[in-house]
Structure 1
């Protein structure tokens, strides 16, 4: 038995649906189902009643749910007791981002060696876990507007808060060797004709929301993904030296632009991704964390 199994079980009970639990935990429904079944197998009794209408805890599951909530709250308290020294470090977790990296360079140039930089890149789950465990003081994420309320509810179990900053739309990033490099925009219908590189670390991705914002014009499964990787280096080199493109936030802070990579707006795509940061409200933000939040907001 582990914390992740209990988290999946608790969220499934709260949402009454394995698919909604998967969306909340930024994973797939089969993974949620498999994880809970492993817990049931270990305990030797079913925890959920499954039906076409969703799931609900069994009588035994109700008792387990009560103790699972206590365990998760206790685990959150214990995590808060093992914080690293925040006085001499900037501890930040974000999605892979060239602009955040450049922001950290500016932080170093501003504060020189007064603070040590601890920077982690990862998925939504990894970022929020880092903040929850005290590995990072703040975490920068993006969340679909329709999921913000649910996301904040899930964060409450980890004693975390999401502070929204701005809403952005998605775009297609292309390099100088791409045949559409001379264009400024593209239609949803044209996406299926392109070659994409896609990250593999996060179920909560641009592609995950594509079908909703395209009003059914694009089936994400029909996009031509020629490369799957969590390597920023591979993604950048593919964009710079091939006809492969990528989906991303339509957000380019010009002073931090380093490559001959340009965004193509997607015609008819409205802003729908809420960009912000996650933090623990019980911990006062350090001077260095406040600096990052302030300058991140200015970038937006």
Structure 2
């Protein structure tokens, strides 16, 4: 038995179905089911009643649920004690981003080498785990607007909060070798004909929620993803030297532009991605984290 098993079990009970739990835990439904069956096998008794409407705890499962919730709260408290030294460090986690990298350069030039910088890149799950574990003081993320409530529910288990800063729409990034380089925008109907490079595979990423934004104009499953990579360097080089394009936030901070890469607005796309940061609400932000958040807000 481990903390992850208990977290999955508690989430399944609270959400009432394996599919909802899978969405919350960034996992597949079969893996949720497999994990809970393994826990039931270890304990020797069934924890959940499964039916067509979903799942609910057995009488024994209700007892285990109460203890599991207590254990998770205690684990969250212990994790919150592992805070970085706020006096001489900036610890943050973000999505892969050239602009964040340049912002850290600004931070270094402003604060000097006396401040230790520790920066991690990853998915929403990895970013929030870093904040939860005390590895990072803040985590900068973007979340589809329709998923903010689910996201906040997940964070509540970890005693974290999401502070939104701005809403942005999506765009298509192209380089000089792309046939649409001289265009100003694209339609949703154009997207299935393009070759895309996709970054981090993340439940909260824009690709997972494109259908709700395009109002049925495009099924994201028919988009042609020819390359997958979590490397920002790979994305940049493919955009610069091939006819591959990339979905991204319609946000380019002019002073940080480094490459001949152009954003094309998607016609009819309203802002639907909330950009913000994750933090532990019980702690005030350190001066250096506050500087970074304020500077990032100005960029947005």
TM interval, short-chain normalised: over 0.9
Deviations 1:215-240 (A, max 9, x none): 22222221111111111111111111
Whether 2:260 is the aligned partner of 1:252: answer no
Q: CA deviation at 1:175?
A: 0.8
Contact 2:96 2:231 survives alignment (8 Å): no
Q: What secondary structure is seen at the aligned counterpart in 2 of 1:244?
A: coil
1:46 aligns with: 46
2:131 aligns with: 131
In structure 1, distance between residues paired with 2:198 and 2:171:
14
Contact 1:172 1:265 survives alignment (8 Å): yes
1:78 aligns with: 78
Contact 1:27 1:202 survives alignment (8 Å): no
Q: What secondary structure is seen at the aligned counterpart in 2 of 1:164?
A: strand
Q: CA deviation at 1:211?
A: 1.4
1:32 aligns with: 32
2:65 aligns with: 65
Contact 2:84 2:91 survives alignment (8 Å): no
Provide structure 1 residue ranges, at least 5 long, that are not aligned to the other structure.
none
Aligned residues: 300
In structure 1, distance between residues paired with 2:257 and 2:25:
33
In structure 1, distance between residues paired with 2:228 and 2:174:
17
Q: What secondary structure is seen at the aligned counterpart in 1 of 2:283?
A: coil
Provide structure 2 residue ranges, at least 5 long, that are not aligned to the other structure.
none
1:273 aligns with: 273
1:233 aligns with: 233
Contact 1:26 1:124 survives alignment (8 Å): no
Q: CA deviation at 1:201?
A: 4.1
Q: What secondary structure is seen at the aligned counterpart in 2 of 1:45?
A: coil
Q: What secondary structure is seen at the aligned counterpart in 2 of 1:197?
A: strand
Query: Normalization by structure 1: what TM-score?
Result: 0.95
1:285 aligns with: 285
Contact 1:160 1:281 survives alignment (8 Å): yes
Structure-2 change in CA distance of 1:31 and 1:271 (3 Å): farther
1:103 aligns with: 103
Structure-2 change in CA distance of 1:34 and 1:185 (3 Å): farther
Q: What secondary structure is seen at the aligned counterpart in 2 of 1:258?
A: coil
Q: CA deviation at 1:21?
A: 2.0
Contact 2:144 2:273 survives alignment (8 Å): yes
In structure 2, distance between residues paired with 1:203 and 1:30:
16
Q: What secondary structure is seen at the aligned counterpart in 2 of 1:49?
A: strand
Q: CA deviation at 1:98?
A: 1.0
